[in-house]
């Protein structure tokens, strides 16, 4: 028997990640096996959820991942866990598809979390509105929980504002230690290892659950496991070096799983540690991350930079996403105006900005398939006169297209692809000829 719940709110910044982590830790302390998921494209929140559950975390998205694969992911986890906690994205009804769409399609009950730090009885009106708005769409809201509650009296006021039929689950009081943020979201979990025990303790102390909260939830029936799709060994025998460290951490684990499923051997290495790319690597994958935070250190990593240039000069494939592409530019200009030399594979200057430059779901349509994914970046590329996009991605709903640059066997873009959506195209990008 497994229980499942999707944790959502009216907007970003309500405390969804904190609540999901706090619930996971509380359940694990009770001897429960917990698996967590994140709705939509996201690299940072899954790291915190993985630390809280000590288990792999996968992204669920009806469009990017696909409904069938979302069902498979949940069914696989249900076979190994007592609880499935699914953290929503943005507001419950934001986006197309939204977290509400996922909940309705997969039969996941919804627990609301609302930042009540600056409200009283309006809490009930907001929770009721979120519940009522989903009735016709098949969204089942099972309760509400408040975040940033100032006192027991404040909690009683909030609980009393809820209408009959919308249970009060409890609250998170103002935690003395919370998860810190920066421009792309929360600070990455690997940067918080020393402080995590204190964060978990503070969250546990802040979480006050009603006695009925966890026991009132009925069992969730996972969908039957469908036959796994056949994956062609298109990369059989290929060795792919993957940059994995604090500067290159925005990588779907599902992407690495797909490379392995196609027969590739994945070899992690750390550019920040100035590790040279393995000489036997047939291809390189430079995921996104925070190169701008480590620009000075990266510019001094001569072994890494030399091996990257050498690999490119030999005509071997490189796939560089977002921050990975910025490292392939001639220079990276940080917010303070400092120019940091980079690999110089692209005639361009990568520039960090203070405002969001691109966000949303995108797809790159090619004769070998349509690669689905997303963009979310503050940087831009100031291209030299000879550098022109080879392709453009198509935004799913809003925003403009993103450039895809191809210089020799280098493919670079701010676009993050979800590899399982177009295996033949991905194999072509990585295959050493």
Residue 397 CB coordination number (10 Å): 9
- Say if residues 349 and 328 touch (Cβ distance below 8 Å): no
Task: Determine how β-strand 391-392 pairs with β-strand 403-407.
Answer: antiparallel
Q: Compute, in degrees rounded to 10, the torsion defined by CA atoms 134, 135, 140, 141.
A: 60
Biggest CA–CA distance in the chain, Å, is 69
Nearest to 363 by CA among 60, 39, 25, 63: 63
CB neighbour class for 404 (10 Å; exposed up to 12, middle 13-18, buried from 19): buried
Q: Which residue of the set 21, 251, 322, 328 is catalytic?
A: 322
Instruction: Check whether the bond before 108 is cis (ω within 30° of 0).
Output: no
- Could you identify the residue written with the tokens 């994956």? 231
Tokens in use for 127?
Answer: 């929770």
Tokens in use for 123?
Answer: 């809490």
322 tagged catalytic: yes
Nearest to 325 by CA among 414, 250, 419: 414
Count Cα neighbours of 211 within 13 Å in the Cβ-side half-sphere. 0
In degrees, rounded to 5, the angle at the alpha carbon of residue 362 between the alpha carbons of residues 247 and 411 is 55
Separation between Cα atoms, residue 62 and residue 99, nearest integer Å: 9
Burial 117-137 (b: 16+ CB within 10 A, else e): eebeeebbebbbebbeebeee
Separation between Cα atoms, residue 91 and residue 140, nearest integer Å: 15
Backbone φ, ψ for residue 51 (5° rounding): -65, -35
Separation between Cα atoms, residue 264 and residue 372, nearest integer Å: 21
Residues recognised as catalytic: 322
């Amino acid at each position: 028997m497994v229980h499942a719940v999707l944790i959502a709110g009216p907007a970003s910044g309500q405390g969804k990640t904190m609540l999901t982590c706090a619930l996971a830790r509380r359940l694990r302390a009770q001897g429960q096996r917990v698996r967590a998921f994140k709705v939509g494209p996201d690299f940072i929140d899954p790291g915190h959820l993985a630390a809280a559950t000590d288990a792999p975390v996968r992204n669920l998205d009806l469009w990017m991942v696909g409904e069938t694969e979302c069902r498979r992911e949940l069914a696989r986890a249900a076979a190994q866990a007592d609880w499935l906690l699914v953290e929503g994205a943005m507001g419950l009804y934001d986006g197309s598809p939204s977290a509400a769409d996922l909940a309705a399609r997969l039969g996941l009950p919804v627990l609301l979390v609302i930042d009540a730090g600056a409200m009283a009885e309006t809490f009930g009106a907001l929770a009721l509105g979120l519940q009522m708005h989903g009735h016709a769409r098949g969204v089942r809201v099972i309760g509400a929980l408040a975040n940033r509650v100032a006192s027991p009296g404040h909690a009683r006021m909030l609980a009393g504002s809820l209408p009959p039929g919308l249970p009060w689950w409890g609250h998170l009081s103002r935690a003395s230690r919370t998860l810190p943020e920066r421009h792309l979201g929360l600070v990455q979990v690997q940067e918080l290892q020393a402080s995590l025990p204190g964060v978990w303790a503070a969250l546990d102390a802040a979480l006050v659950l009603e006695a009925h909260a966890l026991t009132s939830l009925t069992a969730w029936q996972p969908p039957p496991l469908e036959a796994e799709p056949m994956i062609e060994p298109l990369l059989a025998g290929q060795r792919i070096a993957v940059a994995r460290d604090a500067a290159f951490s925005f990588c779907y684990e599902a992407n690495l799983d797909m490379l392995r499923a196609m027969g590739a051997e994945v070899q992690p290495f750390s550019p920040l540690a100035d590790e040279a790319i393995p000489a036997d690597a047939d291809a390189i994958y430079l995921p996104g991350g925070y190169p701008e935070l480590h620009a000075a250190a990266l510019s001094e990593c001569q072994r890494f930079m030399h091996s990257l240039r050498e690999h490119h000069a030999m005509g071997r494939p490189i796939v560089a996403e977002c921050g990975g592409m910025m490292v392939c530019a001639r220079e990276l200009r940080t917010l303070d105006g400092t120019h940091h030399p980079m690999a110089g594979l692209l005639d361009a200057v990568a520039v960090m900005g203070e405002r969001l430059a691109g966000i949303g779901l995108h797809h790159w349509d090619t004769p070998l398939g349509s690669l689905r994914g997303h963009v979310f970046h503050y940087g831009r590329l100031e291209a030299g006169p000879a550098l022109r996009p080879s392709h453009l991605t198509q935004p799913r709903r809003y925003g403009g297209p993103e450039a895809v640059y191809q210089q020799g066997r280098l493919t670079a873009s701010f676009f993050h692809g979800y590899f399982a959506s177009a295996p033949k195209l991905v194999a072509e990008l990585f295959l050493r000829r």
